[in-house]
Every structure is written in structure tokens, then in C-alpha cells.
Structure 1
Amino acid sequence: MRAAADIGQQLTTWRKLLGLTAEQVADRGGISRDTLRRIEHGDPGVNFAAVLSVARGLGVLDAIVTATDPYETDLGRARADQT
């Protein structure tokens, strides 16, 4: 799945930009180094909670939540009163 690969690469880039080792990020996320490797390589079978834990450990979880909030879009705001 292309999206999993893209997200994995973006989380890897965040880790490197922050100067963190894979071991540090795995520890912050409470996951194994192997699970982090699978996430960073775009394995779509990784537990979603593990991906969110890594995002939290990198400080980007709020950005992911905001990016998927329908009320942050013109369409979502326009139709908010219809729900």
C-alpha cells in the first residue's frame, strides 16, 4: 500500500531530522525496534496503535489528527450543520 510506505518514510525523515536513533523512537513509542523498522518500511500490517505511538514519540501526532479532521476542510465546515 502506497500510503503506508509514504507515512513510513515521513516518520523516518522526522526521526532523522530530530536527531533520534531508531532505538530512542522505539523506546518512546513503547514498541520493539523490529516494529519500528516495519513501520518505517511501510508494512501495512503493523498495529495502528504502534504507528500512533511512534507519531506521538516524534511529536507529530497532533498534526496527523488535525490532517484527518473533516472539520478542518472547507467541505467539512460547509456541511457541519447537516450532521
Structure 2
Amino acid sequence: MRVASPRTRRDLATLGAHLAAARKIQDLTQQELAERAGITRGTLVRLEAGEGGPRLEALLAVARVLGFSGALVDAADPLRTEFGRLHAGRADRKRVR
């Protein structure tokens, strides 16, 4: 497995802290959130700790329960950035070289 860059590790830690804060604000235990998201408590612990191992599906399930999966998915929309809008024609390409 590749070692994550320092920036990626920081982003994972920040995302994990945000997940934990959102859970606490909603007065949910780790066990309650994990059950509602259909994941194990251990997976949630790893997400909140900023570990890079849990699957993207687990992250989206947790975000859905916490109420911001739509915002998370929308944040990845390339057309939300000026660069993406300027180069939107590239999205139609079948193959990127």
C-alpha cells in the first residue's frame, strides 16, 4: 500500500475530526451512527481517526446519516470551479491521454 502524502494525511485527519464533531453535535454515539450507516463501529472509529483504509462507501453512508452526503458529492463536481467550467468540454472525451 502506498504511503499517503502529508497533505492527504492532514486532510484525512481534518475530515475525521469533522465527522466526529458532526456526530457529537447530533448527540449520537459511535455505535448509534455506525448502526444507522450500516457499518461497524470499528470502521467509524477509523474514519473519525482519519485513517485512509475505510471504503468510500462507508464515508458516504456516514455522511448520509449526518445529513451532508449531498454536499460532499456536490463538492466533487468539476463544474463548481472556474477551471472546471472553462474546460468542461474535456469531460466529454472518451479517453484522456
How far apart, CA to CA, are the structure 2 residues paired with 1:79 and 1:59? 31
Q: TM-score, normalised by structure 2?
A: 0.77
From 48, 51, 73, give the equivalent of 2:81: 73
CA deviation digits over 1:34-66, x for unaligned, max 9?
111111001111122111111111111111111
In the comparison of the two structures, how many residue pairs are matched? Answer: 83
Q: What is the match of residue 53 of structure 2? A: 45
Greater Cα radius of gyration, structure 1 or 2: 2
Greater fraction helix: 1
Shift of 1:82: 4.6
Tell me which of the two structures has the higher relative contact order, counting C-alpha pairs closer than 8 angstroms and 6 or more residues apart: 1
Amino acid at match of 2:39: I
Q: What is the match of residue 44 of structure 2? A: 36
Give structure 2 stretches of 5+ with no counterpart: 1-8, 92-97
Structure 2 CA distance for partners of 1:14 and 1:78, relative to 1, 3 Å:
same
Amino acid at match of 1:77: R
- Find runs of 4+ consecutive structure 1 residues off by over 6 angstroms: none
How far apart, CA to CA, are the structure 2 residues paired with 1:77 and 1:18? 36
Give structure 1 stretches of 5+ with no counterpart: none
Identity of aligned residues (%): 42
